[in-house]
């Protein structure tokens, strides 16, 4: 620890963020106020502290004023902390010696109508940040082992894409597939949108490439039983049918477990009449050569999606229906095909071309309204499908020989287990959720990635892109031995720990274990710094670095207007 | 690892691809035509469906790229010729002069103040003037002015040297010329993005004839806190707050009229419109918003939720039907939107303050020249063609040249950055192969 913790020189930088902060909060008054806060050796404002010039000004100010701690009163650390940390590093300070006061999201944005009070609150937030900054200590990211091997769970199209590209880069890949054969959903499909490529041809090619690749070790009929550890070093246990349990270590994990298709028992008579099938059933029939004795086919879109139970759009069903409708017309121009839809989800160049071609092939598209879904009544000779068409303001009736329901993709049964094992959150429907939509390939657990339809419905082409995308993420920072998660992590005082184990139960990162003496020990490489353990420890034996009791207390005292004792 | 990858285009896709490669330890040449990186995303207000401030998400990536030890950013640069093959491309790049030396410039702004020439500011979609020597927006990277030769009096033959005379550190370089350099790359990534359709030719909507008919990109600047109005929705004709707004979908998209627009769906308009409608409603709860549409395309995670929030919670009125005509009241500059509601058959008219046209996503016009330089094919519309989606994903018709984001068709930010990471992996694989070739 450095010797001058008690009186470091703090620099305060107040950002106007254009009008976003400056239009509400009185920034010059903030700067004046900052200069009067004990410990503050320098204060200035900037139009945009995060711009290149803003950062250079901070760097210059650190050097010329010998600043030892920095407070940036600006926006959220979530987007910008790393930017300011880099400025400290360039100026020769440890990057963890910066504290941000969020006077935008937590102040100017929400108090636009009360500029006076907003300024008062911004001062409070800044004063609190200074109080904490004075007590910050430097921290060096620990070195961690980086195993270059990768575990890919799921041998469908996205899992195989990741595996192949990573293997080409020289990574050793363990590809674990629960079935006896690779391929996943691809094995059940006929032709693939948008180019009408034979699914079997794509599959064949990929299987051969996987087979030939010495860097891919395929574990068939296998399940991942456990994954423990953290980025760079995960211990994996795999159980295979008729074989002994295997254990190995990897540095990254890719989840590509795919999805299932909804079989909507009871909906539109599904399950009660074998002439009412799903698109996946139709794909199977087309693979085997086609449909016999059928002259009228009606396809119903959004069967089980965009409804109350499953409000999401399943993205691929419109393209699938159009593609299959077109194939049916190509098989026999005598087959009439009607596609009954709510909103046609054809998007982009190729899917728009598919829509146009399908219409040219004589497939009829009929809109239905949310509140007036089609009514399906099976009869002796045919199935009656009645639907109100808003376009002609009339009810239409079709006598179908085959009714095909375009049902959504739904999560696989094993998703919750994987979610728990790898600490990856699921969305409301059970798909894996990324950290943020704009970082679609980053997930809650560092070093673990999800791709393909396990994350959200998407077609084969998109699944390949995503498989490659997460592959790239897995390959990134492979040579860096440092774990850059941040300075927040738990440390347990062995003298205070009573061994009650509450922290072990509560830790969402499985980062705490008991040692041979029954004392809890936290592994800083696993710890996510959430603080649950410290908050619940009855002995107050746990310190969260970067959020120590002293630091929080100083902030609270600053908030209520008193200065901490020092 | 030895070898470099050349990334063309410094928008969000190009930035993401560059960072993906650089973080794998690979050297990147990032070539951007404009004087600054950031692309279209820098002009947008918020993202969908999460409604984050766009520049706040983009800017850290811009700075990280610019400062990354593995990334060399070449602004004002264009690829003119590519020789060789996968693993060993030789790329000729022409760099136009910035006329300002960024290493000397102290960003004092004296040059901008002294410049007598003004021109319409394309970053603010023409809502404001800017000087011939300019920095487009405060977070611009690199943050040093550049001189727009097309607007500058000096280059128009007037002999003006105002900026040079006032610059206290001698950073102005009026004599600077074009530089041609040869870069080596194992593979090339095309991330040139898109441009928006100009709806002037659709006379029925009166764009460019009626001041209060604007495109969605222009709307983004009007509603942005960093835009010309500081984020207040002041309409162009008289600065009146626009509380009655019509959003018109499929302007130039899904068009089957001869010579007008494009036949494809632009894929992103339904969602940015839902976002724009929510933004207006949250800012001005008493506003009346209409969205005219054919189909609502909400096919990504939480996309339908955002549409539902706009429609069901905030009371945005969605009307199925593409307006036939927009007319202007010449006295008030208010607009009348004529439409047929295809759900009910009713013919109606809405009086609004502002009409926002969701104009189609088009390929960049320069794609033709760039495709020639790269020796790759474009599709019938002018987007880069992918040879085989399944067996060589995201690869153009020339081996070792990849494409991501909107340069091969419309897609949203989330899909663009996914593809950017995907091509980063493909390109990294090529470097490894090239290293193997030469016995490395």
Residue of A438, A459, A464, A479 to mutate for B, most B C-beta atoms under 10 A: A438
- Are B301 and A343 a contacting pair at CB < 8 A? no
Closest CA to B359 of B205, B150, B155: B205
DSSP helix/strand/coil, A147:
coil
Q: Which chain A residue's Cα is nearest to B420? A: A469
Radius of gyration for chain B, computed over Cα atoms and rounded to the nearest angstrom: 23
Selecting from B50, B57, B295 the residue whose C-beta is nearest the C-beta of A343 gives B295
Start-to-end C-alpha separation, chain B: 9
Strand pairing category for B88-95 and B179-185: antiparallel
Q: What are phi and psi of A467, to 5 degrees?
A: -60, -45
- Chain B residue numbers touching A169 (CB-CB < 8 A): 425, 428-429, 432
Its CATH architecture, for the domain A10-139, is 3-Layer(aba) Sandwich (3.40)
Residue of A47, A465, A477, A478 to mutate for B, most B C-beta atoms under 10 A: A465
* Spatial separation of the C-alpha atoms in residues B156 and B172, rounded to whole Å: 17
CATH number of A261-409: 3.50.50.60
Q: What are phi and psi of B314, to 5 degrees?
A: -100, -5
Q: Which chain B residue's Cα is nearest to A437? A: B414
* Spatial separation of the C-alpha atoms in residues B126 and B133, rounded to whole Å: 16
Query: How confident is the model over A209-267, as pLDDT tens digits?
Result: 999 999 999 999 999 999 998 888 999 999 998 888 999 999 999 999 999 999 999 99
Selecting from A18, A79, A194 the residue whose C-beta is nearest the C-beta of B57 gives A79
Selecting from A50, A437, A475 the residue whose C-beta is nearest the C-beta of B428 gives A475
A150-258+412-475 with A261-409: one CATH topology?
A: yes
As a whole number, the mean pLDDT across chain B is: 95
- Chain B residue numbers touching A192 (CB-CB < 8 A): 390
Selecting from B24, B63, B225 the residue whose C-beta is nearest the C-beta of A83 gives B63
- Are A348 and B409 a contacting pair at CB < 8 A? yes
* Spatial separation of the C-alpha atoms in residues A289 and A448, rounded to whole Å: 41
Task: Give Cα separations from B261 to B258, B264, B365 (angstroms).
Answer: 8, 9, 14
- Chain B CB within 8 Å of residue A315 CB: yes
Start-to-end C-alpha separation, chain A: 17
- Chain B residue numbers touching A466 (CB-CB < 8 A): 418, 422
Q: Nearest C-alpha of chain A: how many angstroms from B141?
A: 7
Selecting from A50, A192, A194 the residue whose C-beta is nearest the C-beta of B139 gives A50
Query: How confident is the model over B103-132, as pLDDT tens digits?
Result: 889 888 999 999 999 999 999 999 999 999
The angle subtended at Cα B431 by Cα B429 and Cα B435, nearest 5°, is: 120
Strand partners, A450: A255
- Chain B residue numbers touching A469 (CB-CB < 8 A): 418-422, 425
pLDDT at A3: 41
Domain A490-545 coded CATH 3.30.70.20: yes
pLDDT at B34: 97
* Burial (0-12, 13-18, 19+ Cβ within 10 Å), B150: exposed
- Chain B residue numbers touching A311 (CB-CB < 8 A): 304-305, 308
Output the six-digit token pair for B100.
């300002």
- Are A51 and B140 a contacting pair at CB < 8 A? yes
Which residues touch A296 (CB under 8 Å, ≥6 apart)? A335, A336, A337, A338, A382, A398, A399, A400, A401, A402
Query: How confident is the model over B18-34, as pLDDT tens digits?
Result: 999 999 999 999 999 99
Strand partners, A340: A300, A366
Task: Give Cα separations from A219 to A202, A223, A393, B177 (angstroms).
Answer: 21, 9, 57, 60
pLDDT at B433: 76
- Return the domain boundaries, chain A: 10-139, 150-258+412-475, 261-409, 490-545
Secondary structure string (H, E, C) spanning chain B: CCCEEEEECCCHHHHHHHHHHHCCCCEEEEECCCCCCCCHHHHCCECCCCCCEHHHHHHHHHHHHHHCCCEEEECCEEEEEEEEECCEEEEEEEECCCCECCCCCCCCCHHHHHCCCEEECCCCCCCCEEECEECCCCCCCCCCCEECCCCCCHHHHHCCCHHHHHCCCCCECCCCCCEEEEEEECEEEECCCEEECCHHHCHHHCECCECCEEEHHHHHHHHCCCCCCCCCCECCCCCCECCEEEEEEEECCCCCCCCCCCCCECCCHHHHHHHHHHHHHHHCCCCEEEEEECCCCCCCCCHHHHHHHHHHHCCCEEEECCCCEEEECCCCCCEEEEEECCCCCCEEEEEECEEEEEECEEECCCHHHHHHHHCCCECCCCCECCCECCCECCECCCCCEEECCCECECCCHHHHHHHHHHHHHHHHHHHHHHHHHCCC
Closest CA to A226 of A422, A1, A476: A422
DSSP string covering A7-37, please?
SPPEEEEEE-TTHHHHTTS-HHHHHHHHHTS
Asked if B190 and B396 touch (Cβ cutoff 8 Å), the reply is: yes
Strand partners, B403: B190
pLDDT at A516: 92
Selecting from B63, B66, B429 the residue whose C-beta is nearest the C-beta of A165 gives B429
Which helix (H) or strand (E) segment holds residue A555: the answer is helix A549-559
Its CATH architecture, for the domain B198-360, is 3-Layer(bba) Sandwich (3.50)
Query: Cα A488 from chain centroid?
Result: 22
Query: How confident is the model over B329-350, as pLDDT tens digits?
Result: 999 999 999 999 999 999 999 9
- Return the domain boundaries, chain B: 4-96+178-193+364-437, 110-166, 198-360
Selecting from B23, B225, B264 the residue whose C-beta is nearest the C-beta of A352 gives B264
* Spatial separation of the C-alpha atoms in residues A365 and A337, rounded to whole Å: 9
Residues of chain A numbered 406-445 and touching chain B (CB < 8 Å): 427, 431, 433, 436-441
Q: Nearest C-alpha of chain A: how many angstroms from B97?
A: 21
Output the six-digit token pair for A379.
């009869």
DSSP helix/strand/coil, A452:
helix
Asked if A79 and B58 touch (Cβ cutoff 8 Å), the reply is: no
- Are A438 and B52 a contacting pair at CB < 8 A? yes
Selecting from B63, B263, B429 the residue whose C-beta is nearest the C-beta of A356 gives B263
- Residue keyed to tokens 């109005």: B229
- Chain B CB within 8 Å of residue A462 CB: yes
* Spatial separation of the C-alpha atoms in residues B197 and B258, rounded to whole Å: 16
Q: Nearest C-alpha of chain A: how many angstroms from B404?
A: 10
* Spatial separation of the C-alpha atoms in residues B429 and A422, rounded to whole Å: 28
Q: Domain spanning A150-258+412-475: which superfamily?
A: FAD/NAD(P)-binding domain (3.50.50.60)
Residue of A318, A476, A478 to mutate for B, most B C-beta atoms under 10 A: A476
pLDDT at B412: 96
Asked if B379 and B385 touch (Cβ cutoff 8 Å), the reply is: yes
- Chain B CB within 8 Å of residue A197 CB: yes
Q: Nearest C-alpha of chain B: how many angstroms from A192?
A: 9
- Are B417 and A438 a contacting pair at CB < 8 A? yes
pLDDT at A564: 44
- Are B418 and A472 a contacting pair at CB < 8 A? no
Q: Which chain B residue's Cα is nearest to A79? A: B57
Q: Which chain A residue's Cα is nearest to B68? A: A86
pLDDT at A566: 39
Query: How confident is the model over B338-381, as pLDDT tens digits?
Result: 999 999 999 999 999 999 999 999 999 999 999 999 999 999 99
Q: Which chain B residue's Cα is nearest to A78? A: B57
Q: Which chain A residue's Cα is nearest to B266? A: A348
Query: How confident is the model over B266-324, as pLDDT tens digits?
Result: 999 999 999 999 999 999 999 999 999 999 999 998 999 999 999 999 999 999 999 99
* Burial (0-12, 13-18, 19+ Cβ within 10 Å), B341: middle
Q: Nearest C-alpha of chain A: how many angstroms from B153?
A: 28
Sign of CA dihedral A511, A517, A518, A520: negative
- Chain B CB within 8 Å of residue A165 CB: yes
Region B79-88 average pLDDT: 96
Ranges of residues in chain A whose predicted pLDDT is under 70: 1-6, 479-485, 562-566
- Chain A residue numbers touching B142 (CB-CB < 8 A): 52
Residue of B264, B275, B384 to mutate for A, most A C-beta atoms under 10 A: B264
Selecting from A161, A195, A441 the residue whose C-beta is nearest the C-beta of B418 gives A441
- Are B143 and A51 a contacting pair at CB < 8 A? yes
Q: Nearest C-alpha of chain A: how many angstroms from B388?
A: 9
Asked if B260 and B201 touch (Cβ cutoff 8 Å), the reply is: yes
Decide if pLDDT at B439 tops 70: no
- Chain A residue numbers touching B51 (CB-CB < 8 A): none
- Chain A residue numbers touching B56 (CB-CB < 8 A): 75, 79-80
B4-96+178-193+364-437 with B198-360: one CATH topology?
A: yes
Region B421-440 average pLDDT: 79
Secondary structure string (H, E, C) spanning A466-506: HHHHHHHHHHCCCCCCECCCCCCCEEECCCCCCCCCHHHHH
Domain B4-96+178-193+364-437 maps to which CATH number in 3.50.50.60, 3.90.79.10, 3.30.420.40, 1.10.10.10?
A: 3.50.50.60
Task: Give Cα separations from B60 to A78, B26, B38, B42, B192 (angstroms).
Answer: 11, 20, 11, 12, 20
Q: Nearest C-alpha of chain A: how many angstroms from B272?
A: 14
Which residues touch A489 (CB under 8 Å, ≥6 apart)? A522, A524, A527, A529, A544, A545, A546
Decide if pLDDT at B157 tops 90: no
Interface contacts (A, B; CB < 8 Å): 212
- Chain B CB within 8 Å of residue A207 CB: no
């Amino acid at each position: 620890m450095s010797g001058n913790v008690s009186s470091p020189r703090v620099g305060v930088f107040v950002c106007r963020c254009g009008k976003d902060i400056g239009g509400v909060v009185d920034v010059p008054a903030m700067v004046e106020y900052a200069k009067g806060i004990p410990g503050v050796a320098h204060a200035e404002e900037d139009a945009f502290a995060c711009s290149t010039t803003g950062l250079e000004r901070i760097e210059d100010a650190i050097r010329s004023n010998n600043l030892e701690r920095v407070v940036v009163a600006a926006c959220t650390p979530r987007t910008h902390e790393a930017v300011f940390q880099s400025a400290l590093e360039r100026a020769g300070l440890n990057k963890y010696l910066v504290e941000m006061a969020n006077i935008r999201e937590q102040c100017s944005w929400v108090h636009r109508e009360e500029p006076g009070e907003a300024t008062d609150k911004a001062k409070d937030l800044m004063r609190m940040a200074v109080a904490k900054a004075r007590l910050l200590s430097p921290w060096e990211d620990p070195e961690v082992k980086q195993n270059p091997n990768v575990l890919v769970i799921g041998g469908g199209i996205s899992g195989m894409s990741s595996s192949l590209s990573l293997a080409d880069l020289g990574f050793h890949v363990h590809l674990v597939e629960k079935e006896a054969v690779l391929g996943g959903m691809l094995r059940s499909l006929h032709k693939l949108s948008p180019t009408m490529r034979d699914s079997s041809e794509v599959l064949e090619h990929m299987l051969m490439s996987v087979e030939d690749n010495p860097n891919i070790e395929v574990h068939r009929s296998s399940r991942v039983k456990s994954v423990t550890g953290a980025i760079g070093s995960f211990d994996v246990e795999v159980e295979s049918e008729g074989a002994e349990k295997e254990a190995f270590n990897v540095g990254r994990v890719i989840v590509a477990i795919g999805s299932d298709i909804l079989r909507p028992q009871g909906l539109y008579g599904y399950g009660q009449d074998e002439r009412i099938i799903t698109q996946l059933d139709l794909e199977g029939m087309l693979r085997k050569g086609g449909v016999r004795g059928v002259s009228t086919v009606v396809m119903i879109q959004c069967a089980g999606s965009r409804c109350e139970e499953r409000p999401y759009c399943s993205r691929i069903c419109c393209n699938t229906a159009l593609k299959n409708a077109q194939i049916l017309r190509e098989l026999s121009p005598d087959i009439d095909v009607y596609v009954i839809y709510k909103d046609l989800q054809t998007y982009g160049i190729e899917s728009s071309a598919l829509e146009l071609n399908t219409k040219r092939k004589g497939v009829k598209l009929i809109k239905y309204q949310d509140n007036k879904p089609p009514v399906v009544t099976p009869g002796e000779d045919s199935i009656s499908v009645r639907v109100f068409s808003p376009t002609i303001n009339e009810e239409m009736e079709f006598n179908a020989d085959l009714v095909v329901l375009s049902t959504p993709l739904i999560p696989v049964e094993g998703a919750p287990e994987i979610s728990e094992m790898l600490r990856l959150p699921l969305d409301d429907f059970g798909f894996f959720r990324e950290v943020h939509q704009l970082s679609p390939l980053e997930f809650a657990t560092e070093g673990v990635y999800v791709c393909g339809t396990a994350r959200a419905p998407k077609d084969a082409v998109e699944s390949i892109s995503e498989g490659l995308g997460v592959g790239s993420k897995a390959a990134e920072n492979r040579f860096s031995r440092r774990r850059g998660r941040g300075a927040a992590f738990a440390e347990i005082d062995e003298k205070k720990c009573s061994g009650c184990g509450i922290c072990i139960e509560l830790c969402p990162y499985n980062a705490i274990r008991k040692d041979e003496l029954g004392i809890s020990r936290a592994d800083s490489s696993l710890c996510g710094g959430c603080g649950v353990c410290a908050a619940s420890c009855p002995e107050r034996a746990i310190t969260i670095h970067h959020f120590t009791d002293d630091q929080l207390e100083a902030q609270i005292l600053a908030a209520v207007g008193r200065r901490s004792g020092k | 690892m030895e070898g470099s990858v050349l990334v063309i285009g410094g928008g969000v896709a190009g930035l993401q691809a560059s960072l993906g490669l650089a973080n794998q330890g690979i050297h990147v040449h990032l070539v951007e035509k404009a004087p600054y990186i950031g692309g279209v995303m820098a002009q947008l207000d918020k993202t969908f469906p999460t409604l984050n401030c766009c520049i706040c998400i983009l800017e850290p990536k811009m700075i990280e790229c610019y400062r990354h030890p593995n990334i060399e950013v070449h602004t004002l640069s264009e690829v003119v010729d590519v020789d060789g093959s996968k693993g060993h491309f030789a790329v000729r790049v022409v760099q136009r002069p910035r006329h300002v030396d960024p290493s000397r410039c102290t960003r004092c702004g004296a040059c901008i103040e002294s410049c007598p020439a003004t021109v319409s500011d394309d970053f603010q979609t023409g809502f404001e003037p800017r000087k011939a020597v300019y920095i487009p927006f405060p977070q611009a990277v690199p943050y040093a002015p550049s001189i727009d030769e097309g607007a500058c009096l000096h280059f128009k033959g007037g002999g003006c040297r105002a900026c040079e005379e006032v610059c206290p550190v001698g950073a102005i370089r009026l004599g600077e010329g074009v530089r041609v350099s040869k870069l080596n790359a194992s593979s090339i990534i095309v991330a040139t993005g898109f441009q928006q359709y100009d709806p002037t030719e659709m006379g029925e909507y009166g764009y460019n004839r009626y001041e209060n008919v604007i495109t969605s990109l222009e709307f983004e600047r009007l509603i942005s806190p960093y835009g010309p109005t500081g984020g207040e929705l002041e309409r162009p004709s008289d600065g009146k707050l626009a509380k009655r707004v019509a959003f018109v979908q499929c302007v130039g998209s899904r068009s089957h009229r001869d010579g007008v627009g494009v036949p494809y769906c632009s894929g992103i308009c339904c969602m940015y419109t839902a976002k724009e409608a929510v933004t207006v409603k949250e800012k001005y709860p008493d506003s009346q918003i209409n969205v005219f549409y054919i189909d609502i395309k909400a096919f990504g995670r939480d996309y339908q939720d955002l549409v539902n929030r706009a429609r069901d919670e905030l009371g945005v009125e969605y009307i199925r039907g593409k307006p036939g005509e927009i007319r202007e009241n010449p006295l008030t500059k208010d607009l009348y939107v004529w439409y047929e509601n295809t759900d009910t058959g009713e013919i109606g008219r809405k009086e609004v303050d502002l009409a926002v046209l969701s104009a189609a996503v088009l390929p960049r016009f320069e794609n033709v020249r760039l495709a020639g330089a790269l020796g790759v094919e474009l599709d019938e519309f002018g987007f880069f063609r992918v040879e085989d989606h399944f067996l060589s994903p995201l690869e153009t018709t020339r081996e070792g040249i990849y494409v991501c984001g909107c340069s091969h068709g419309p897609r949203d930010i989330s899909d663009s950055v996914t593809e950017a990471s995907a091509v980063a992996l493909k390109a990294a694989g090529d470097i490894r192969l090239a290293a193997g070739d030469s016995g490395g």
